[in-house]
């Protein structure tokens, strides 16, 4: 699933590619991802893109009319932009990525460029919402660790006195926005904390290490274009490079890069969770 760094990378790519463009028409190949209005095709026609926003893992394309196109990629969703010269500049790592059997919706702009929404497993969604609806959606998310205003105090205030595992807390989008399985495991490793520890058992020092690790890892992942696993590639057409920096995620059975112990994998918070039994306590 694309997490904060991957979605932010896509946002930045789309910001460069589609701002100021007018939607000519939309082709709906599979209506399952569409939520809300039955007259979606009529409402989206002639909308002019104004900016691209993000909250957590949710993309919001703002139009000059004040409406927003909310897009969540969920597990396998992709946004692929094709310019008017038919050059693919993002979204997938293999040839022939424009219209394929996983294409659900195609947004056609008046300059003949296109934005494809592809989704293998069909968990992603698209919804046209107004400002009031957008504000309600935004309010459901916790603070964003890549926001310059994010602090240790904010982090502690969000998670204090909670007995659930720290892994489940980090995955809770209402508490902290944007963290998924990959970066939760990596942050816990960097902070030397087992992801199955009860949150209220963490010391002040451990909370400080974890908060700093989350901020550092997410920002670093954004800088290198996120982590590529299966379906994800950034909007500049490149694979994310953070996969080269992973210490525990996806490394079960391999040696810890720090101490040489075998990386373990177990189920925590309903998710496959990776950790080093020696480095993390």
Residue 201 DSSP symbol: G
Please indicate if the annotation marks 121 as binding a ligand: yes
Tokens of 269: 């918070």
From 2, 5, 33, 145, active-site residue: 2
Tokens of 217: 């890892």
From 3, 6, 8, 186, active-site residue: 3
Listed residue (14, 140, 161, 179) closest to 83, CA to CA: 14
Decide if 33 is catalytic. no
Phi and psi, residue 195, nearest 5°: -70, -15
H or E element: which one contains 35? strand 34-35
Phi-psi region of 66 (alpha: psi -120 to 50; beta: other; left: phi over 0): left
Measured at the CA of 270, the angle between CA 265 and CA 273, to 5 degrees, comes to 25
From 5, 11, 33, 57, active-site residue: 57
Decide if 3 is catalytic. yes
Decide if 2 is catalytic. yes
From 29, 74, 238, 271, active-site residue: 271
Measured at the CA of 274, the angle between CA 268 and CA 277, to 5 degrees, comes to 100
Cα 77 to the chain's mean position, in Å? 10
Please indicate if the annotation marks 194 as binding a ligand: no
The CA distance from 191 to 131, in Å, is: 39
Quote the crossing angle between the two packed helices 204-223 and 152-159, to the nearest 10°. Answer: 110
- What are the catalytic residues? 2-3, 57, 271
Binding positions for DNA are 121, 162
Residues that constitute the known binding site: 121, 162
């Amino acid at each position: 699933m694309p997490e904060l760094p991957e979605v932010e990378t896509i946002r930045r790519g789309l910001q460069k590619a589609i701002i100021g463009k007018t939607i000519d028409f939309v082709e709906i190949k599979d209506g399952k991802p569409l939520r809300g209005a039955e007259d979606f095709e009529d409402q989206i026609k002639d909308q002019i893109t104004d900016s691209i926003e993000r909250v957590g893992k949710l993309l919001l394309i703002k139009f000059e009319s004040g409406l927003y196109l909310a897009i969540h990629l969920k597990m396998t969703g992709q946004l692929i932009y094709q310019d008017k010269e038919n050059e693919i500049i993002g979204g997938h790592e293999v040839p022939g990525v424009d219209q394929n059997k996983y294409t659900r919706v195609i947004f056609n702009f008046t300059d003949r460029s296109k934005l494809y929404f592809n989704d293998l497993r069909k968990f992603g969604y698209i919804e046209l919402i107004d400002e009031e609806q957008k504000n309600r959606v935004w309010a459901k998310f916790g603070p964003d660790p890549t926001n310059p205003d994010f602090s240790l105090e904010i982090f502690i205030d969000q998670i204090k006195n909670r007995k659930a595992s720290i892994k489940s807390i980090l995955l809770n989008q209402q508490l902290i926005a944007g963290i998924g399985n990959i970066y939760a495991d990596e942050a816990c490793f960097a902070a030397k904390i087992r992801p199955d520890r009860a949150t209220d058992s963490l010391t002040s020092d451990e909370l400080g290490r974890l908060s700093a690790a989350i901020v550092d890892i997410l920002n670093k992942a954004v800088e290198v274009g996120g982590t590529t696993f299966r379906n994800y590639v950034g909007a500049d057409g490149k694979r994310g490079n953070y996969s080269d920096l992973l210490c525990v995620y996806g490394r079960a059975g391999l040696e810890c890069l720090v101490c040489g112990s075998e990386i373990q994998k177990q189920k925590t918070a309903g998710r496959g969770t990776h950790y080093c039994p020696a480095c993390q306590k």
